[in-house]
Structure 1
Amino acid sequence: MAFRKFFILLIFLFPAALFSQEREVIRGTVFFDVNKNGILDDDESGIAGICVSNGKDVVKTDAGGHWNLPAGSPRSVFVIKPAGYTVPLNEDNIPQHYFSEKQIQNLEINFPLYPSDENNRFSVLFFGDTQARGQKEVNYIFHDVVEELIGTTDATFGVSLGDIVADEPELMDEVSKGIAQIGIPWYNIFGNHDHDRDEKLNEYKDKTFRKFFGPSTYAFEHGQVAFIGLNNIFFNPDGKYHAHLTAEQLEFIANYLSFVPENKLIVLMMHAPLVRTANNDKLFEILRNREHTFSISGHVHEQINVFIDEELGWKRAVPHHHLINATVCGSWWCGLNDETGIPHATMNDGAPNGYSVVTFDGNNYSVRFKAARRPADYQMNIYLPDELKQTQLDTTVVLVNVFAASGQSTVEMRVGNEGQWVPMQQVETIDPECLRMHRLNPILDYETDGNTIDDILGYKMDFPSVSTHMWEGRLPQNLSGGTHTVTVRTTDMFNQTWTSHRIFRVRPVNRN
């Protein structure tokens, strides 16, 4: 009884001492960094209404730009860049919107922001898996994709959608330094091949990623768009992973969106596809009142437009558009090398390796695929024999791989300038050229002159997959002998139209 009275007395006299850990907060200020020195100087003022987060809780700054968050054990604290502002960039153009676990030990941290003129119409580069195995493949990234983008004025910033490297996390620094040459801010998403193998717990698998890029779940705003970067790769203690969002991440999304007006477009960026994320139903519940949404991922090494409807758990009548983005590495930098020594890296669905340019206009968006080192209008391959007999016209199929098409695309063909446009039919099949390249690329397990056969021919391609963007049509049966042109025209879900041609010959029946 005496001990109980003593304990109650302690609570009454020294509550802060007994419960300081529970009452402890992290605090700071978001401010106009007028002289851009990163320090809150006496003559610099705070900014009201800016969101700050510890990865779960989200608060807004008060009239003086001040904020505080529960201390707990956050691994980072970050400001959610609002539209009309920028954050500092490091030498590799990586946004410095965060403070790490070590940096927040003093419990008071200040975030500098700079005013910025932002248009509501802007474009973003999205790189699927760059996935470099060693310095040789790091160089492939630079020569195949990065160099054509240096100095671009078409994109405001870029995002890598995970699997930046192939199980060598320290190479992230090398990849970043090359991508930095493009000259625009660059955000990064965590992928399964970016993890630290020596870490056993899921919460530390992104240790090296955080070292270079900051928190692996975060958000920022630009124009009328709220971007949310998600680490949806969850590692089990046995080292295996699956696509999953933690309770803390879901709480962060819900807390943040409570501050985001419903007329803004919400863009979710992740590595593994949303449809493969085990508990996506909880995310769909958070988004159920959001009319304007779009999501994008990598991981699959194919390009697929997925429309998530009510049958797949979406809570709204209009399906949610999820883009499984093209990969920079294509099929893991596999296949025969071209004249510059870079593998053709065709993806498993027959589309070339490359990236996407997503243009945002208010809360609307459109997507354009860009093949590596190819013209912007290279959007399809047409397959048709160079020559065929007139007797083969009724059995010959024109097959087209429209790299970025979806079920909402229209594809049609005609022969000659005066021919009638005929709708083509979407089919599920393997891209024939992808299959041919696969068969040309046998890899054996031996060494030649000190070099593995991989060094000579490149890594063996996976067997091609059934592509989701193939169409077929029939030639007119009354074609005369001679040289003809088949033209294919496609219009996508964003009303973008592309055309391509293929010349072929018809051999008359009476020709020897």
Structure 2
Amino acid sequence: MPEIKKILFLFLIAAIAACTGCKEDPPDPVDEGLKITGVSIPGSLSIPLGGEITLTGSGFAINDQIVFVLTSDAGKTFTAVITAVTGQTATFNLPAGITSGTYRLIVKRGTESLVLGTLTVNVIADTGIPDRPGMTVKGVVYCNGEGVPGVVVSDGTEVTVTDSEGIYYLPSTKGNGFVFISVPGNYEIAASDNIPQFFRRLSAGSTVEQHDFSLIESNNDSHVMLTMADWHLANRNDDLTQFSNGFLPDVNATISAYVSGGRKVYGAPLGDMTWDAYWYDNNFRLEHYLVEMKKVNCPMFNVIGNHDNDPYVQGDIPAEAPFRELIGPTWYSFNLGQVHYVVLDGIQYINTGGAQGNIGSRNYNDVVVSAQTSWLAKDLAAIADKSTPLVILIHTPVYGNPSLDPSGEQVNTIALNNGSTLLSLVQDFSEVHFVSGHTHINFTVESGDVMEHNTAAICATWWWTGKTGYANNQICKDGSPGGYGVWEVNGRDLRWYYKSIGMPAEYQFRSYDLNEVYITAAEFAPNSTDALLSEYAGVYASPNAVNDVLINVWGYDPEWTVEVTEGGTPLNVERVTAKDPLHIISYEAKRLNVGATPTSSFVTGNTSHMFLVRASSATSTVEIKVTDRFGNIYTETMTRPKDFTWSMQ
């Protein structure tokens, strides 16, 4: 690597205002003990490791300490000592060990201290990288002062790899506004407010820019990825209370348990973290989501959903501007251990009629636009070993909710507009997992070397069933509890399960004694009528006295088995397509009971992860045994009659 050079940065107020967007903190800092005035802190600073910094300001003294406090983690501090002063300046070196990030600067002298302001530090490992013709973005990826070779770098269109000294060049048009790295396995990168800073923002124009990336060695060969779909935070339906009292303690307990066991934990919000319809009416937008996201105790790789676009703006790229400004790129990749992860934007937001002060129709296409598929082909081409496990995180599913043919076999249908194109791009890989959300239900599709895991919602049915005065539960449209996916990774061994909020990991199914499932207005919606309720209750609006048992196995895939015995005798288990009765009484009945019409896209839908068994009597006890594809066994001794209530498990 070329020798790291010292650079002297003299921050004159006029020059900073003209060139770097100085953030002067009026009025000048005033303190009875420290008489330091005229201080100006720039918005950002690119500087090599150990580089000299000269600040403008009077009243500094030799041996004063300048403390850098990371704004996203106040426990991380770095201290420099002022080595030279004049009447108007103070000079010190960038502290050892500091990484790129946003810091609060504090000057200390003995027991006295004074906050100077905030500074975003971009640590440059090599300031001597020469320009190359046609290359508009350059930089170095390094760890502990040494360049890291073989790291994939991209601007979302072009893809390159760092050379033996960790240096990269890109002929970027800067159209996407970012340069980012695909963080290599067994490394991490510093996070700001829980968002890994694997990207840098690009300015417009053809000016050559240098952006460097500092990696941190971290053995994440054994890690856990939490996939969290459809938060739909909108400051309505008691959502923030439910989020804070239900999801947050649950997910942080899950994280804590894995971290205590020596595992690295990461998160992937799978889109629709907000709800565009309420961005302005309820004053809850992406910046408010970020406040809640920071409460999850792990780094978060965000995926954009259709509801995360600005509803005042027409067009896909313009409507994504707040997401790009506050969160980062909408497509990118990263590696954890031996697994390659890709984040895609599966939404082309149209929003007909959107204008300032006017929410449009919020319409969109389910598609991965061609700019992304072109980039994806290049990103995947950089992976020589096609046996590398590939996990693609996307909001919209590639496949639709499966159905069953007359023989009970699962029928899979591609739902994404260019799903076939996407599948063709991954066909050379021997293990591919698409992890999606959007539907608020669970389903799994397996086709050759590809599996899709559509993950139900954090918000369940848009926070309705847990709203005060409703069912006091969290139930999705297919009867799945509100929850999130947990992926346990050891090397190239990937295992997964669905974690229901407020329940142990072993809670993987719910059983119904259909003799007891009789949905009437008198029982479940006394302020409504049977005529209205029966439209939603369907077969459950009539008594069932044939001793059927219905089992909802929300994590089911064809490698699972469902077995039921009665008095030691095996019963015939039939996979069926059915609606979940608990969701009907938790959402539709509750909405009818307050005189509202259930929203059509929120009502109970058919699901094929249902199993039907007929017992010999109404009072027999049946033993239910469900075995997942990894050999984990989940059981219930079902004592019948079993009550059908909002609080049933």
* TM score, norm. by length of structure 1: 0.80
1-side partners of 2:204 and 2:566: how far apart?
Answer: 66
Match of 1:349 in 2: 478
Tell whether 2:573 aligns with 1:424: yes
Q: What is the DSSP-based 3-state SS (H/G/I as helix, E as strand, rest coil) of the residue aligned with 2:636? A: strand
Q: Partner residue of 2:552?
A: 401
Is the aligned partner of 1:264 residue 2:388? yes
Contact kept in structure 2, 1:356 and 1:370, CA below 8 Å: yes
Q: Does 1:27 align with 2:138?
A: yes
Q: CA RMSD in A?
A: 3.0
Q: Aligned match of 1:107 in 176, 184, 209?
A: 209
Cα distance change of structure 1 residues 77 and 439 upon mapping to structure 2, 3 Å threshold: closer
Aligned residues: 447
Q: What's the offset of the Cα at 1:114?
A: 1.0
Q: For 2:589, which of 429, 440, 448 is the aligned residue?
A: 440
Deviation at 1:22, TM superposition (A): 8.9
Question: Which one of 70, 82, 100 corresponds to residue 171 of structure 2?
Answer: 70
Report 1:171-210 matches (<5 A).
171-210=285-324
**Structure 1 residues 443, 209: closer, same or farther in 2, change over 3 A?**
farther
Contact (CA 8 Å) 2:465, 2:471: kept in 1 or not? Answer: no
| Shift, 1:505, TM fit | 5.2
- Secondary structure (helix, strand or coil) at the match of 1:156 reads strand
Q: Distance in 2 between matches of 1:494 and 1:270?
A: 25
Q: Is the 8 A contact 2:515 2:548 kept in 1?
A: no
2:616 aligned with 1:476: yes
Determine the structure 2 residue equivalent to 1:223: 337
Give distance in 2, aligned partners of 1:178 and 1:343: 22
1:427 alignment partner, SS class: strand
Change (3 A) 1:424 1:194: same
Query: For the Cα contact (< 8 Å) 1:192–1:241, is it kept in 2?
Result: yes
Structure 1 counterpart of 2:550, one-letter code: L
Compare 138-147 and 423-432 and name the one that shifted more: 138-147
Runs ≥4 residues deviating over 4 A: 103-106, 385-388, 443-446, 458-461
Distance 1:463 1:342 in 2: 15
CA distance in 2, matches of 1:22, 1:200: 37
Please state how far the C-alpha of 1:153 moved relative to its aligned partner.
Answer: 3.6
**Correspondence for 2:626:** 490
3-state DSSP of counterpart to 1:440: helix
Q: Give, in angstroms, the shift of residue 263 of structure 1.
A: 1.8
After TM superposition, give the deviation of residue 443 of structure 1 in Å.
Answer: 5.0
Is 1:45 equivalent to 2:146 in the alignment?
Answer: yes
Give the letter aligned to residue 553 of structure 2.
Answer: V
Does residue 61 of structure 2 align to residue 61 of structure 1?
A: no
- State the partner residue of 1:41: none
Counterpart of 1:280 (choices 415, 419, 432) is 419
**C-alpha contact (below 8 Å) 1:387/1:504 kept by paired residues:** no
Q: 1:153 to 1:180 in 2, by over 3 A?
A: farther
1:200-234, CA deviations, whole angstroms, 9 ceiling, x for partnerless residues?
23122221111222101000001111000000101
Shift of 1:198: 2.8
- Whether the 8 Å CA contact 2:273–2:308 is kept in 1: the answer is yes
Deviation at 1:366, TM superposition (A): 2.0
SS at match of 2:294: helix
Within 2, Cα distance between the matches of 1:182 and 1:289? Answer: 36
Confirm or deny: 8 A CA contact 1:386 1:504 kept in the other structure: no
Query: Cα–Cα, structure 1 residues 107 and 95, in superposed 2: closer, same or farther, change >3 Å?
Result: same
Residues 65 and 471 (structure 1 numbering): CA distance in 2 closer, same or farther, change over 3 Å? same
Structure 2 unmatched runs, 5+: 1-130, 259-263, 353-361, 400-414, 518-542, 643-649
Matching of residue 129 in structure 1 with residue 243 in structure 2 = no
SS at match of 1:181: coil
Distance in 1 (alpha carbons) for counterparts of 2:590 and 2:601 = 7
| 1:323 alignment partner, one of 448, 453, 478 | 453
Aligned match of 2:463 = 333
Amino acid at match of 2:569: Q
AA in 2 matched with 1:371: S
1:117 and 2:240 correspond: no
What is the alpha-carbon distance in structure 2 between the residues aligned to residue 232 and residue 115 of structure 1?
Answer: 32
Q: Distance in 1 between matches of 2:464 and 2:351?
A: 31
Q: Deviations over 1:325-382 (max 9, x none)?
A: 011011111125469x895231111111111111223333222111111222221111
Once residues 489 and 462 of structure 1 are traced to their aligned partners in structure 2, the CA distance between those partners, rounded to angstroms, is 31
User: Once the 2 structures are TM-superposed, how far is the Cα of residue 197 of structure 1 from its aligned partner?
Assistant: 2.1
Mark the structure with the bigger radius of gyration: 2
> Separation in 2 of the partners of 1:432 and 1:393?
13
Using the alignment, how far apart are the partners of 1:445 and 1:397 within structure 2?
Answer: 32
Aligned-pair distance for 1:176?
A: 3.0
Residues 438 and 461 in structure 1, CA contact (< 8 A), matched pair in contact too = no
> Aligned equivalents of 1:414 and 1:352: distance in 2?
26
1:84 CA drift (Å): 1.2
Change (3 A) 1:47 1:103: farther
Secondary structure of the corresponding residue to residue 621 of structure 2: strand
State how far apart, in whole Å, the 2-side matches of 1:215 and 1:346 are.
32
Q: Which amino acid is the alignment partner of residue 333 of structure 1? A: W
Q: Which residue of 1 aligns with 2:438?
A: 299
CA deviation vs aligned residue, 1:409-439 (integer Å, no higher than 9, x gap): 21111234xx133341101111122223334
Match of 1:500 in 2: 636
Aligned counterparts of 2:323 and 2:544: Cα–Cα separation in 1: 56
Higher relative contact order (CA 8 A, sep 6+): 1
Q: Superposed, which structure 2 residues align to 1:406-417 within 5 Å?
A: 406-416=557-567
From the superposition, tell whether residues 243 and 355 of structure 1 become closer, same or farther in structure 2 (CA, over 3 Å): same
Task: Output the CA distance in 1 between the equivalents of 2:588 and 2:313.
Answer: 39
Q: Distance in 2 between matches of 1:303 and 1:142?
A: 23
Q: Write the distance in 2 (CA, Å) between the matches of 1:237 and 1:386.
A: 47
Cα 1:153–1:437 shift into 2, 3 Å: closer
Amino acid at match of 1:28: G
* SS at structure 2 position matched to 1:23: coil
**Alignment match, 2:188:** 86
The answer to whether the 8 Å contact 2:162/2:168 transfers is yes
Q: Which moved more, 1:267-276 or 1:144-153?
A: 144-153
Structure 1 runs not aligned, ≥5 long: 1-19, 35-43, 310-317, 447-452, 507-512
Q: Closer, same or farther in 2 for the Cα pair 1:495/1:111, shift >3 Å?
A: same
Change (3 A) 1:473 1:443: closer
What is the identity, as a one-letter code, of the residue corresponding to 1:211? E
> For residue 509 of structure 1, what is the aligned residue in structure 2?
none
SS at match of 2:196: coil
Q: Which moved more, 1:205-214 or 1:266-275?
A: 205-214
Cα 1:235/1:414, change in 2 over 3 Å: same
* Aligned AA (1:400): I
In the alignment, which residue of structure 1 is the partner of 2:275? 166
**2 CA distance for matches of 1:103 and 1:159?**
30
SS of the residue corresponding to residue 226 of structure 1 reads strand
Structure-2 separation of matches of 1:342 and 1:100? 46
Which residue of structure 2 aligns with residue 12 of structure 1? Answer: none
